[in-house]
Amino acid sequence: MGMLWYVMVLIGAMTFVCCDKGEEPTILDQYGNEADPATLSAGTSTVYGTGVTAYDSPAPWVTGALETRFYQGDALYDNPRVSGDDPLQGGKGPLYAGSSCGSCHANAGRSYPTLYSQGGTGTGGFSSHLIYITKKNGAFFRNYGRVLHDQAITGVEPEGRLSVTYTEKTYQFHDGESYSLLTPTYTITEWYADDIAPEDLIIDVRIPLRHVGMGQMMALDPTELEELARRSNYPEYGISGRLNYVQERGKTYIGISGNKAQHADLTVELGFSSDLGVTNDRYPLEVAEGQSQMIGYSHYGIQISTQDMENVDFYLHALGVPARRDVDDPVVQQGEKAFYRARCDLCHVPTLHTRADAPALLNGTRLPWLASQTIHPYSDFLLHDMGPELDSHYTSGLALGCEWRTTPLWGIGLQKKVNQHTYFLHDGRARNLIEAIMWHGGEGAVSRELFARMSKDDRDALIRFLESL
């Protein structure tokens, strides 16, 4: 960490070489040279680390007092909460899904999913997944709520445990290369209260999302997004995306975060409340409130301050976005062309812009560094019908079970370094990038077929291109 820290500080100090009035600042790369624009994933928030901290480093503008805040937020994000009323780290439970944000988002990425290594909820009850459950008619179960919490503090029962079984089917590309897809079947066992009849149960399992470009995502220009939604209508490819709109505290917002774009913000308050069991100003009641087993549970009141949550919010907004790598490699360039030929770009839109007025944190602090940037998220942040195979039957805001937000691909090539695995898609069923593509159905089917029909050389190049993001 010491060396990296030094390099980051150096980059922080050197990154903006300014500038005659009105001129754009020059952005420097890790060697102090003028950065190749093709590498700049997020303008002045681009960072050059490629190791395990590639997602977890501050943007170069995070200096001085901001840096102190960043590491305060980072610590609150990573340090495990404990049960009881410790003012610094207490409040965990009684029901929870992870002990810290970082337990599921290891290194600001995706923790290794126990779904695959341990067949569901892992040993000690930890899974790193969020398990959404509803009745067939969309209503929540009174004794469980929206999320099945598979962990609980001593003396309280977890709500249940997830298990998964698969069927595996092998397919061949036209040139004989084979790939196989795992179709998961989820069941819930050890319900703490009344058993839920499987006929009336919808289970939607999510692995965590990478925290790449969270600040830029919150700074997106709503006008540009609405324009994208209008433009996203390509009958020749069967594609038509739409925005999710969500109601929060009596107002309507464009939904942006989560796999169904079902949240308007970075879910810091919701994460503390529902994922960790830590009550706060926005969610003052324990998620287990009203459940039969909560009778007699003693309350500790508000368990994390808004100031602390703001620091976590700042940390997420201020994370640097990894620069692209190998942009001059001819194979990567061949793969980039193949990416456009397969029309991946119609949903994984390479270039967007952040709006001119900077986004604000929970308490209103503005972050001017995120404003007016050209960014390369490789997403339209729109919902697309991805076909019956990926249909979870779980609705969220406007999003139907088959609709998913285009996952931003920036940083995807570093997931293996950061989290030591290559599980992809909302529930991690794809074990590598080829499987992720071959799962695309519905609006993604034409694109998938264009990929499948390419020569092996082009398919391999396209994967190399994804790895350069």
3-state SS assignment for residue 328 = coil
Nearest alpha-carbon partner for 424 in 102, 49, 109: 109
Can you tell me which of 108, 228, 414, 436 binds ligand HEC, judged by CB under 6 A? 436
Binding flag, residue 348, ligand HEC (CB under 6 A): yes
Can you tell me which of 105, 421, 431, 459 binds ligand HEC, judged by CB under 6 A? 105
How many residues touch ligand HEC under the rule CB under 6 A: the total is: 52
The DSSP code sequence of 346-365 is GTS-S-EEB-SSPPB-TT--
CB contact at 8 A, 280 and 298:
no
Per-residue H/E/C for 382-409:
CEEECCHHHCCCCCECCECCCEEECCCC
Binding flag, residue 384, ligand HEC (CB under 6 A): yes
Binding flag, residue 41, ligand HEC (CB under 6 A): no
Binding flag, residue 443, ligand HEC (CB under 6 A): yes
Binding flag, residue 92, ligand HEC (CB under 6 A): no
- Contact partners, residue 3, CB within 8 Å, separation at least 6: none
| Window contacting ligand HEC (CB under 6 A); options: 6-14, 101-109, 219-227, 323-331 | 101-109
What is the nearest approach in angstroms of ligand HEC to the Cβ of residue 31?
29
Two tokens, residue 403: 């609709």
Binding flag, residue 347, ligand HEC (CB under 6 A): yes
Binding flag, residue 218, ligand HEC (CB under 6 A): no
State how far the Cα of 184 lies from the Cα of 182, in Å rounded to an integer. Answer: 6
State how far the Cα of 297 lies from the Cα of 387, in Å rounded to an integer. Answer: 44
Binding flag, residue 257, ligand HEC (CB under 6 A): yes
Can you tell me which of 53, 57, 259, 279 binds ligand HEC, judged by CB under 6 A? 259
Name beta bridge partners: 39: none
DSSP element (H, E) containing 69: helix 65-78
| Window contacting ligand HEC (CB under 6 A); options: 38-46, 80-88, 138-146, 438-446 | 438-446
Binding flag, residue 434, ligand HEC (CB under 6 A): no
Total residues belonging to the chain: 469
Residue corresponding to tokens 């071959």: 438
Which residues contribute to the site for ligand HEC (CB under 6 A)?
A: 97-98, 101, 103-105, 128-130, 206-209, 214, 239, 257-259, 266-268, 271-272, 275-276, 312, 316, 342-344, 346-348, 384, 386, 390, 404, 406-407, 412, 424-426, 433, 436-437, 440, 443-444, 447, 451, 466
